[in-house]
Amino acid sequence: MYSKWWSVLLGAVAMLVATACGGGPDIAELTYFCDTAPPAPHGGERCGEGDPNLPPEPTFPTEICQTLVAEKSSPDENNIDTARLQAALTACRGGTGAVKLVANGQNNAFVSGHLALDSVILWIDAGVTLYMSRNAEFFQKTGSCGIIGINDSGACNDFISVSGTNPGIVGDGAIDGQGDQPLVGHDYSWWQLSNALRIIDGSIGNPTMINLLTRTTGFLIYRINLYNSAKFHVKITSSPTDGTCDWRGEGFTVWGINILTPSRWFNSQGLFLTPHSARNTDGVDPGTTSLATCGVIACNTISTSDDQIAIKGGHWVSDLTIAHNHFGTGHGMSIGSETYGRHTTPDGLTHRGVEKVDIYDLTIDADSRAVGFESSSADSNGIRIKSDSSRGGVVNDITYTNVCMRDMSNAILVSTAYNPLFAGTSYPEFGTFTFKDVRHVTCMGTTQPVVTLEGFNSLRPAGPIKLDNVVIDNIGPQAVAAEYANIELGPGKVNFTPTGHSVSLTNAITEDTKPIPCVFPKLPTPDMPAGWLR
């Protein structure tokens, strides 16, 4: 971590350069907020404890169905564990006990091809790592899996497919997707396969690390470490059995997991890795495959190269609580881009898109680690709601409370033109969004954060968008864009005024509020090579 005086010096130099170049609009002087909290003391209050909006923290299983002992100390591709892992998962299906993976002295590694986890809990013990194999043939689906230059999003099977009733993945161990490592028989990695299609915005068919299948109910993922997925880390499709939400967490629970991708600075070939290397590695995506309702995503840390969380409304997503999470680099706390979903519940009501999402106590910290070469503004997004006319639909009743962001390019981005190249008649319908007690601060950033608030057109304006005690440090009028939106300010102060084409602005600021204090926890990062400075 740079010292505070060094951050201030960098900012001063940047301001001198900007002044010397001239020719542009005046830029407000940058202020810096570089404090990072130490780790919580051992034995202190547990995350989520006492929060009346959350169920109790999950616990590890009390019964073990089978215990599997590691037979190697590294992911040896000549000694694959797929058969015995799958045999145990199948034998314990629908029972009360978990399949537990444990170490044996220096032997602490399992390596596997595709696994099917149906109505059973997989427990990966502390110190144990389950590696996804680097052999693309173990995941072959269409014949294109692992083949460079093929634009085939369905080419590969998942690493772990999850289905059934009350399945889970728990433990203090790790799952490593080895997305950065060369594939067996090739000199390129899963990530290099994906990046080869970046220029055409192609969708590679790399294996998803954990993918929930349709009609999964009561999924739990708890305290596991997820590293270096080849593509998405966790795609969630899970809802209560009877379709009704009696308490959030009944549909699915994501609690206390750590996603760090990349988890190392170099791969085995000596290639330097950055978050930009790991294309399309979303953290947690509810609603990607089918319905995701009545869920809790709490007390997690996520640093990756794409959306830390992306709520996908291509089916229907509702009744989510997203609380006490800490994000590092990534493309944001996102909703969309798919928002066109429609679902009729057993009571005959039709639901659409994404609705009833409560997000609070969130930090998003781009200062936590380097983004690296070829990075773009998308690598440092804060709050993002995105759609376009090819995939639009309803997003409504969304609340953000007590959110702190640092060094974002886009602090708040509400966009109905996610991909201007795509067109159709599925128009975005953005309803009520509430932003309360939100603050963006600057530490290492030398550019102004941007706020964008836009609806689709005059017939489909966004809003009301409610801003209550929202303070974006270092923002200027040229960094706020708004159109086709109904915006309400207050009762707490807002330090910018959104104006633009077809914007209806109601100023109801009545309280002399102060910006919320922001404390950014120290997040997990790759171990720094000897002699490196941050």
Domain residue spans of the chain: 58-298, 311-317+324-473+480-519
CA 73/CA 107 separation, integer angstroms? 4
Q: DSSP secondary structure string, 54-117?
A: SPPPP---S-EEEEEE--BSS--TTS--HHHHHHHHHHTTTSSSEEEEE-BTTB-EEEES-EEE
Give the pair of three-digit tokens for residue 496.
């910018």
Nearest to 454 by CA among 378, 385, 514: 385
CA 284/CA 235 separation, integer angstroms? 6
Q: What does each of the 534 residues of the chain score in pLDDT, given as a tens digit?
A: 333 333 333 333 333 333 333 444 444 455 567 767 665 544 457 899 999 999 999 999 999 999 999 999 999 999 999 999 999 999 999 988 999 999 999 999 999 999 999 999 999 999 999 999 999 999 999 999 999 988 888 899 999 999 999 999 999 999 999 999 999 999 999 999 998 888 887 778 899 999 999 999 999 999 999 999 999 999 999 999 988 999 999 999 999 999 999 999 999 999 989 888 899 999 999 998 899 999 999 999 999 989 999 999 999 999 999 999 999 988 999 999 999 999 998 888 999 999 999 999 999 998 765 556 666 766 788 999 999 999 899 999 999 999 999 999 899 999 998 877 778 889 999 999 999 999 999 888 777 899 999 999 999 999 999 999 999 998 988 899 999 999 999 999 999 999 999 999 999 999 999 999 998 988 888 877 777 765
CATH class for the region spanning 58-298:
mainly beta
Fold of 311-317+324-473+480-519: Pectate Lyase C-like (2.160.20)
Given its phi and psi angles, is residue 454 left (phi above 0), alpha (psi -120 to 50 degrees) or beta?
beta
Active site residue 306: yes
φ, ψ (nearest 5 deg) of residue 16: -65, -40
Active site residue 186: no
Same fold, 58-298 and 311-317+324-473+480-519: yes
Q: Which of 306, 307, 367, 473 is catalytic?
A: 306
- Cα R_g (the chain), whole angstroms: 23
Q: Which of 276, 331, 343, 351 is catalytic?
A: 331
Would you give the DSSP letter of residue 7?
H
